[in-house]
Amino acid sequence: MQDEDRDMTENRDRRIVLIAPPGAGKSTQATRLAERFAIPWVSTGELLRAAVREGTPLGRAARGYMERGEMVPDDVVIALVRERLASPDCRNGFILDGFPRTTAQAEALKAAGVTLDYVIELDLDEAEAVLRLSGRRVHPASGRTYHVVFHPPKVEGKDDVTGEDLVQRSDDTEEAVRTRLQVYRQQTEPVVAFYREWSARQDPNAPRYFRISAAGTPDEVAARLLQLLGSEKESQETASSPAS
Ligand code: AP5
């Protein structure tokens, strides 16, 4: 991990963490940024769901927690992320979506010497997040995400690229969503405070922390993010393109 970390400092601008409540649009924005900057999208939710689908020991251990909307134990997720960030494709940057979401995970990332450039909090009213989750449909194999009203697929119920069936996530039930929101308030909001305070200390190793609104269309949120990340021309083009 240490050797990989040294290589990862070559491009200091593209090690980004997105933090937000469930349904705020982390994955929607993370996949766009990953494509724009040609860096990998590292989503712990996606890594865990793949393990569940494949029936690996990790997947079997994680499944119950995920279906109930609870946190998968820290040691399991930390090991998963350490392994993923050590891959060669993460050397020039990455977008972490859904990690860290406990202070133990944030401390583990710091202790491993992983440099972060930006920690960006996407801020959204809970009622709006619930509305987004209730209409979400996903293509399990790719992680592509749709919404029945806000971002419908070209053909109802089918993935735009493969034509395969879209499904509703098993943790998008009313009860699991309520648990996920509560877990976010209790365990992930302290992570936001951790980065906000570290960033304010003017430590040269600290990531820059920003909070932006996740309200509005996906294009509007993407434009805010790109502006923040220094691509103002690109953000104007994105803002004026049709909603996706
Ligand atoms: P994870 O997959 O990370 O779920 P989450 O954090 O609950 O976030 P979501 O994927 O639900 O929402 P999102 O913010 O990505 O929104 P999206 O872009 O899809 O984690 C799942 C589970 O795995 C956890 O509960 C836990 O059990 C486990 N886990 C994962 N990481 C862990 C960790 N680090 N430690 C321990 N356990 C962990 O958008 C939502 C919907 O809104 C979509 O339909 C989308 O099309 C739509 N939409 C997006 N943006 C907009 C917009 N601007 N306007 C209108 N609609 C929009």
Active site residues: 26, 101, 136, 169, 180
- For tokens 């060669």, the residue is 88
Taking the centre of ligand 1 as the mean of its atom positions, its distance from the CA of residue 180, in whole angstroms, is: 10
pLDDT tens-digit profile of 62-71? 999 999 999 9
Residue nearest to atom 8 of ligand 1 (CA): 22
User: For ligand 1, is residue 44 a contact (CB within 6 Å)?
Assistant: yes
| pLDDT band, very low/low/confident/very high, at 231 (cuts 50, 70, 90) | low
DSSP assignment letter at 89: G
Count of CB atoms within 10 A of residue 165's CB?
Answer: 11
**pLDDT, tens only, 32-89:** 999 999 999 999 999 999 999 999 999 999 999 999 999 999 999 999 999 999 999 9
pLDDT (tens digit, 9 = 90+) per residue, 169-199?
999 998 999 999 999 999 999 999 999 999 9
